[in-house]
Structure formats: C-alpha cells, structure tokens
C-alpha cells in the first residue's frame, strides 16, 4: 500500500520545502524505495506558463508538456526520474475542474462548496499517482505558508485524507524557521511554536519538525520544541544553512530524517542508503581543479531563479569537468556593438538564454556577433538559437532586415517564423510546442560527436521556428542545421562549421540535466570554454 508524506511550511516562505522534499526522496530512493514528489501550489493561475519569471522564477517543462513549478526541476535533478502533469497542481486547475463539472450538471443540482467539492478534488489529485501501485511513497509538497488564506483548502484536504488513510499510512513534516536574534544572542523557538499551533487549529498534528537555522540546535532547544510542539525529540530535525543544495541529502541523513520517517510509516530501515555516486559528485563539485567564467546573456538576470535549470546544469557539467563554473550574468539590454568587447572581455564562453519578446534582442545579437567573429565558445538555447540565426542572416548573408516574426511581423526576411497551426492560436497558456520531441542528428556534425548518437529527444517550450525557406542559403554560408525533427522537418539544432564551439538548440537541454546524468551539450560547452581559457592564458 502506498504511503503518503505531506510537507508543509511555516513562519516564512522560501525556506526550501522543495529541497527538503527532494533530499528526503533521494534518501528513500537510495534505500530502495520507489518514490515520487508532487507540488500543490495555492495560486489561481492554471499553471506558471503565463507568469513573468520575476513573479515565480523559471517555468519548468516536463516530458509530457506540462508547464510547472521550478521545484519539479529539483525533484528530477535529485531523483533522476521524470515528472509529469500529475506532479504539479494549482488552485486554478482544481477550481477549473470543479466549475467545469458543475456546468455539466455532475453535482446533480447540489450547492457546490469548498468543503466537500474542492477538498474532494484536491484529495483525488493527491492520491492520483498512488493509484497504480507504482510508488511505495508519495511526497506531497504544499506551496505557501500555514496561515495563508489560499492554503486553507489544501490543509483541510490533508486533514481529511490522513483520517481516511488511517494510522501508519501518512505523516506530516512541517518545515519551519528557528531564527537567531543577534541582540539576544540566542535562537528563538516562538515562531515555530506559533506556526505549529496554527496547524493544530486546522486539525493537523505534525509528526516531524524540520527547523531551518543559521546555528546548530542544542539539546535544550530540541527539547523545548519537542515539548511545546508535541513531537518526539528524535523528530526535531536540524536543517542548517548549507554551501550547496546538493549537501542537503547528506545533512538530512546525518539527522536521520529518512530513518525517522520510515519508522513512523512502519517501513523497513534495514538497508542503508546507497549514496556512493552522490558523494563522488559532491567530491568533484567541492574540489575543482580549474575555474572558468561563462557569461549568461539574458533578460531576467536580476533574478537567478529565472534561469534555475541552466545554473544547475552548469553545476552538473562543471563537476563532470572537475571545474568550477562562475556564471557572469549580463543584462542583454546593457550590451551594444560599442561595449560588447568590454562586457565579454574576460569570459571564456557565452550562453544566450531563452526568453520571449523584443526587449534585449539587439544586445543578444551584438553578443553573438562578437563570439562568432572572435571564436569564443557559444551556446544558444531556444530564443538564443533564434538570435544566432537572425545575427547570421543579417551579418553573413547580408539580409539586413532579417528578424523573427515574433519581433517584427513586417520583416522582409522572417528567418524565424510562426508555424501554420500557431497562427490561429488566441490563448497564451499551454499553446506552444511543449514537452518532448524527437530529433535526428546529421552524421559528422559537432552535435553528433557531442551526443554520440543520431536519435535524441529534448523538451521544448516555444512558438516560433526556423524558416526552412532560408535553409539552403544558411547551409551554403556555413551554418548547418545539424538536428531536424523527423515528423515535421523543423530545425532543432544549428551549428557553425568553422568555429571551435558554436552550437544552439531550439529546445531546452537544461531541463534534462541531472546529478546522475549531466547534459552532454553543457558538458561539452564547459569543456570548450575551459580549453579556450587555457589557450588564452598561454598567449
């Protein structure tokens, strides 16, 4: 029978429920249990697809094309298993489903209410992944903070579900903050006490407290928390600030979080977790033999979470190359043809990031021209690939008006254009080319040597495509379409023939990079940047 773990948060947001959930899942997986994690978000958007990255960080896309919360990226990177549409649910999706059913007459004329109709739908979704018996344990992370108005239906659903599941079938982990007051010189437990009290008012007694803290919890603090929050002292878990999110599973192992959870769920703790490969990765991450600076040119550089998966992919690729990757964020709008050499003067590689809209386009084009003409390693993702095509069209093919149809609908040379099926689309949400699509790589190309195979699958999130009417011109001038979608003949990868490393993908390779399987494009790009750095030092 599938067991359920619910992770709630208290005192403040951004304490790291996603990292704690992913770390616990990693430990349970390392003990041989089949685990998955799902995220329930209390906002009314159907999904994060239409949210500005400044609002909610990046939008993470799953294999089946769901636009989801960035925490699902953590789940996949830690567990090395794909998530799906079912792993991320929002209040908007819950209400939309219930309202659609009401319009169909499915409730037989009854008054539709938060309890039981909304809470019943939340419970149904919480149990969905456990229906087929594929998982031993399902971890459900509840977004927001206990006490938020929008979180109440989710908390009530958990209360009901725990009662229905019976004893030893579920538990609640409450992640909370134990702040250090410098003036008093001590840690304070009162915020946690109040947070647990609020949870108790809603009918839920947490089984485990995970306490985020800047200082170690001594035995007196643990006893106090256990006494006033009504939990066993062994269930008061310290979560101290860590140098890297990848340290957290080992810190949770030291605190015996996994053992405490399994004991409460009446599951075996006989086999120790196998974390050998994880420790090898951490060893490489913490002991690099070299360092390389790579520029990330994008629109949302003030918020690193907007490029969360790219940053993590650089960490994975850096560890694989035993090299520390320092990412230098450069706002695309700040670059022009006069200052580009200065802006990119001390970097050994340039990644032009994905995004939407015209803002920063000219800066990205200036950056790409500079790296193309100066043989600096370049990697373009999604819009970054489209920018590479536009820049090449303007400056090599001399198509002065070359542009994307997204930026200029009147351009004479729409080298990036809109697919026919996209021209009729009116709604913004969930209408792009989303999720996994196949790609066939041409033999003898840089992409073929990087992937080591001809057939690949990558995840997409975009609306505009390379215009095949210009294919012959581009290939004759040296920009090769080295990856093609076999079903609709769309260009997936472009690269330059006579350049040490100039490659760009219409897809998002960062979404498939994990600790266990760093993405080959990132690994190769970091290696090329490292080689460029060494060559520059020898000059």
What pLDDT, on the 0 to 100 scale, is given for residue 429? Answer: 53
Answer yes or no: are the C-beta atoms of 351 and 384 closer than 8 Å: yes
Give exposure, 29-44, as e/b (b: 16+ Cβ within 10 Å). bbbebebbbbbbbbbe
DSSP, residue by residue, 211-222: EEESS---HHHH
Q: 56 catalytic, yes or no?
A: no
Q: How many CB atoms lie within 10 A of CB 58?
A: 25
How far, in whole angstroms, is CA 475 from its chain's centroid?
34
- The radius of gyration computed from the CA coordinates of the chain, to the nearest angstrom, equals 25
For residue 54, say whether it is annotated as part of any ligand binding site.
yes
**C-alpha–C-alpha distance, residues 14 and 27, integer Å:** 22
Tokens representing residue 384 in the block:
């970054």
For residue 141, say whether it is annotated as part of any ligand binding site.
yes
Q: Which of 127, 124, 135, 42 is nearest to 81 (CA)?
A: 135
**C-alpha–C-alpha distance, residues 389 and 496, integer Å:** 11
**C-alpha–C-alpha distance, residues 361 and 9, integer Å:** 40
Give residues with Cβ within 8 angstroms of 44, minimum separation 6. Answer: 90, 91, 92, 95, 150
For residue 418, say whether it is annotated as part of any ligand binding site.
no
The DSSP 8-state label assigned to residue 397 in this structure reads S
From first to last of its 539 residues, the chain has per-residue pLDDT tens of 899 999 999 888 888 899 999 999 999 999 999 999 999 999 898 887 777 676 767 889 999 988 888 889 999 999 999 999 999 999 999 999 999 999 999 998 899 999 999 999 999 999 999 988 899 999 999 998 999 999 999 999 999 999 999 889 999 999 999 999 988 889 999 999 999 999 999 999 999 999 999 999 999 999 999 999 999 999 999 999 999 999 999 999 999 999 999 999 999 988 889 999 999 999 999 999 999 999 999 988 888 788 999 999 999 999 999 999 999 999 999 999 899 999 998 899 999 999 887 787 899 999 999 999 999 999 999 999 999 999 999 999 999 888 888 888 888 998 998 866 656 665 555 567 789 999 999 999 999 999 999 999 999 988 889 999 999 999 999 999 999 999 989 999 999 988 999 999 999 999 999 999 999 999 999 999 999 998 888 76
What pLDDT, on the 0 to 100 scale, is given for residue 47? Answer: 81
DSSP, residue by residue, 243-278: SSGGGHHHHHHHTTHHHHHHHHTT----SPP--HHH
What pLDDT, on the 0 to 100 scale, is given for residue 426? Answer: 57
For residue 465, say whether it is annotated as part of any ligand binding site.
no
Q: In angstroms, what CA-CA distances link 235 with 9, 187, 190, 388?
A: 16, 18, 18, 53
Answer yes or no: are the C-beta atoms of 168 and 207 closer than 8 Å: no
What pLDDT, on the 0 to 100 scale, is given for residue 324? Answer: 96
Q: 510 catalytic, yes or no?
A: yes
Which of 255, 462, 510, 519 does the annotation list as catalytic?
510
What pLDDT, on the 0 to 100 scale, is given for residue 90? Answer: 92
For residue 189, say whether it is annotated as part of any ligand binding site.
yes
For residue 224, say whether it is annotated as part of any ligand binding site.
yes
What pLDDT, on the 0 to 100 scale, is given for residue 12? Answer: 87
What pLDDT, on the 0 to 100 scale, is given for residue 428? Answer: 52
For residue 304, say whether it is annotated as part of any ligand binding site.
no
Sign of torsion, CA 48 49 52 54? positive
Which of 382, 391, 439, 499 does the annotation list as catalytic?
382
Tokens representing residue 298 in the block:
């994008």
What pLDDT, on the 0 to 100 scale, is given for residue 115? Answer: 93
Work out the burial of residue 404: count CB atoms within 10 Å of its CB; fewer than 13 is exposed, 13-18 middle, 19 or more buried.
Answer: buried
Sign of torsion, CA 69 70 73 74? negative
What pLDDT, on the 0 to 100 scale, is given for residue 420? Answer: 64
Q: How many CB atoms lie within 10 A of CB 99?
A: 12
Q: If DSSP codes are grouped into helix, strand and coil, which group holds residue 127?
A: helix
For residue 17, say whether it is annotated as part of any ligand binding site.
yes
For residue 461, say whether it is annotated as part of any ligand binding site.
no
Helices (H) and strands (E) in the chain, counts: 18, 23
For residue 197, say whether it is annotated as part of any ligand binding site.
no
Answer yes or no: are the C-beta atoms of 17 and 66 closer than 8 Å: no
For residue 366, say whether it is annotated as part of any ligand binding site.
no
Answer yes or no: are the C-beta atoms of 92 and 490 closer than 8 Å: no
For residue 16, say whether it is annotated as part of any ligand binding site.
yes
What pLDDT, on the 0 to 100 scale, is given for residue 423? Answer: 60
Q: 312 catalytic, yes or no?
A: no
Which of 462, 499, 508, 519 does the annotation list as catalytic?
508
**C-alpha–C-alpha distance, residues 418 and 174, integer Å:** 47
Q: How many CB atoms lie within 10 A of CB 334?
A: 12
Q: How many residues does the chain have?
A: 539
484: β partners: 440, 491
């Amino acid at each position: 029978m599938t067991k359920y773990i619910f992770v709630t948060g208290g005192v403040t947001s951004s304490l790291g429920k996603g990292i704690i959930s992913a770390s616990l899942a990693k430990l349970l997986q390392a003990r041989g249990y089949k685990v998955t994690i799902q995220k329930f978000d209390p906002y009314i958007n159907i999904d994060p697809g239409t949210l500005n990255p400044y609002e909610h960080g990046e939008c993470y896309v799953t294999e089946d094309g769901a636009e989801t919360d960035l925490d699902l990226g953590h789940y996949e990177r830690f567990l090395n298993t794909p998530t799906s549409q079912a792993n991320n649910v929002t209040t908007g999706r819950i209400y939309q489903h219930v309202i659609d059913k009401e319009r169909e007459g499915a409730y037989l004329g009854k008054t539709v209410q938060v309890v039981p109709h909304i809470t019943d739908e939340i419970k149904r979704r919480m149990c969905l992944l456990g229906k087929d018996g594929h998982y031993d344990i399902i971890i459900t992370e509840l977004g927001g903070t206990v006490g938020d108005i929008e979180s109440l239906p989710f908390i009530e659903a958990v209360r009901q579900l725990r009662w229905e599941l019976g004893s030893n079938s579920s538990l609640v982990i409450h992640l909370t903050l134990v702040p250090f007051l410098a003036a008093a010189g001590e840690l304070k437990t009162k915020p946690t006490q109040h947070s647990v009290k609020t949870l108790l008012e809603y009918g839920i007694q947490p089984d485990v407290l995970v306490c985020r803290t800047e200082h170690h919890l001594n035995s007196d603090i643990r006893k106090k928390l256990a006494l006033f929050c009504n939990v066993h002292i062994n269930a008061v878990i310290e979560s101290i600030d860590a140098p890297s999110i990848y340290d957290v599973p080992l810190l949770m192992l030291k605190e015996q979080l996994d053992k405490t959870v399994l004991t409460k769920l009446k599951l075996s703790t006989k086999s120790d977790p196998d974390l050998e490969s994880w420790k090898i990765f951490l060893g490489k991450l913490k002991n690099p033999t070299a360092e390389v600076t790579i520029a990330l040119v994008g629109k949302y550089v003030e918020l690193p979470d907007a490029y969360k998966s790219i940053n993590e992919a650089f960490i994975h690729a850096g560890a694989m190359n035993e090299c520390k990757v320092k990412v230098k964020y450069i706002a695309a709008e700040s670059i022009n043809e006069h200052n580009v050499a200065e802006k990119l003067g001390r970097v050994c590689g340039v990644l032009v990031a994905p995004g939407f809209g015209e803002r920063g386009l000219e800066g990205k084009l200036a950056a790409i021209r500079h790296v193309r003409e100066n043989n600096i390693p370049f990697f373009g993702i999604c819009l970054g690939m489209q920018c590479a095509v536009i820049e090449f069209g303007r400056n090599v093919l001399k198509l002065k008006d070359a542009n994307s149809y997204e930026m200029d609908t009147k351009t004479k040379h729409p080298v990036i254009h809109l697919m026919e099926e996209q021209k009729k689309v009116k709604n913004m949400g969930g209408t792009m080319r989303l999720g996994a699509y196949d790609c066939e790589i041409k033999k003898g190309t840089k992409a073929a040597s990087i992937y080591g195979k001809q057939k690949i699958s990558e995840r997409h999130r975009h609306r505009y495509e390379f215009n095949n009417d210009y294919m012959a011109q581009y290939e004759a001038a040296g920009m090769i379409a080295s990856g093609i979608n076999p079903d609709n003949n769309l260009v997936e990868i472009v690269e330059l023939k006579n350049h040490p490393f100039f490659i760009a993908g219409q897809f998002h390779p960062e979404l498939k990079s994990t600790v266990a399987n760093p993405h080959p494009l990132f690994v190769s790009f970091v290696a090329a940047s490292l080689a460029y750095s060494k060559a520059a030092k020898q000059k």
